[in-house]
Structure 1
């Protein structure tokens, strides 16, 4: 019997404006595998990833000031797509033709990739599809949506629909995020969370976290934590701050540690241009000796903070799920989460965490006090939180899911090629 020739190295192209973004673990895994040749494309200034060749594109202009504000996101997508297109033409001229492209299409970079690489299988990270009801828009009555907002949001899906139509396969990290996309495309979208590094994010009874004032926090201390990339209403910062006076009064020995930037990742800025932190500190009086704002901190220090936490509050509009909630659970935190999608896919009230109404500051304060004052009966919840993340959201599972999807994409390509040759 004649031996089959060895399969050639498969070329994988990653595209993410802020590469590596969600693709860090799978890109690193493939880059270490001699069966794959990996290249990445990101916006100029993206972090990049050691061991992965990364090329950067540059925009030649921003959307025109005169463009209608409903259409500005689409014009921005065109400009990002065009910038990426120009870079990919040079990539092809230098001989790199990918078999599979894995991309986050949310900013428009992949609009034209099939014009350069028509035979490549395109896998999109379908993170979010906008809705005018039953998701983030209009969820918070403090920030009601207007007809103008709803029209603008509906127009934003023009880019998302083109992305869904263009891709061969797609990934959504939670079932709820998948469900937001039009049903006609659900067969394309596979449920794969990229995964949490549970070897790094894990409980540590010997952890210690030093506050700026020199006080050292350790596991077992009454420590309440709140973490977000930026302190803003989308992640319930305003609600958390309003719950703090009751929490502090009911738990006089506790320290509250908040880590997060002063910018805005999602949603509106304040009307007067102040940060949400300054806005809420003007509304709510808290003891600065017990409430510690840390801005953004290193990843290792962030882990140490979670490892000393006695209670961790995670509030969010119905929106994309933060890694921080999963990482807090992986570190053994008792997470007090909002009873909103997609939080409820992960946290089961009274089993691996506690769920509270997003807007109910009294319920939030009561749940925090329960966690701080009665830690022993709640220890099984913390243990099951670790188990939930280790078994359901570990990075190995995420890598395996992406590798299986790549194999599916390559098999589709083989089937297509066989039909063309028949």
Structure 2
């Protein structure tokens, strides 16, 4: 934890954030009013205690990183399904509204959420349960808002803020890993289940803290593993001991989550990264990976309770159903709504980012949605953003899981990728503060 003490995040703050996470993890053992009040007090505490250090937009952006592990629990300490308003969503909405009252350029990312809202109205016309499409549309629109937020913040970002926001993102993952370890300890030692915990298949134990999808949990950790790996490879600030400690902690936690998605995505992208770098350090780590991968796969296989390591778990059939739906509704799709999808097909959502939105949104809606990524990669990601790699890790994982836009951490990664882009460099004063920005056009 000492790595954060030298980067403006003190130990007391780390403990406070950890206790906040644990309060929600063990919310079943507390009075609901206490948990609701705790959420409100934490928000006010952070906003007020950091007012001299960061601007309001910076504070809200940092809170987005902090809120990721608890972003599947509503502000009223209920499940997201019963009330789709979490502290994460509320913070993103406040940040968005705050920006709307300021001067900004009406670029592609400004119009994109409104276009999606207009297009999504079709789903309300064909669905009897209006809350069903509303929940999914709201999730998609909030995700698209993150592109606009990132583009606005890009004009005012500086090296100081980029460093601290990166540290908060890594800290959020580390504290999430600690929550996973505590979750495993409570079950193994006392037989107590907290958070999202299940035993599936042939005695396969899975857990994901407060994330309602185990694949989300593994992918979230995997993004931290790749970010910290790249920081170690390309910067001299991190010692080998610190790097190994953090990576082992994350690796141990991802094994406890017991979902292949994040681990496999990390291994694939890290291999590509090392091949891309081709220096002595990368070759050395690459050799270590080749030696350890068989052991890693053996551990994963044993934890799956007899299920084949490369089993598709029915994903091929789900994607086949999605393609059939798309073929019958090419332009508009079958409409949004998890309930509607189950009613029409009797199965869960397709486990693939592309086939899911082709089936639900059709060709037109898919183009509207995916165009945001096209602009992201053309305009920002190609300019050597550190967050190229974790976004690719997430998108690879999204080829095997449903509804990746509801993962929350992808929204934060989009914001971080845009504000850390090296294309639009700004001038700084000696203390690292913003001095003058360049115009941003799409």
Q: Specify which structure has the higher proportion of helix.
A: 2
Query: Which TM-score applies when normalising by structure 2?
Result: 0.28
Query: Which TM-score applies when normalising by structure 1?
Result: 0.29
> Which one has the largest radius of gyration?
1
| Higher RCO structure, 1 or 2 (CA under 8 Å, sep 6+) | 2
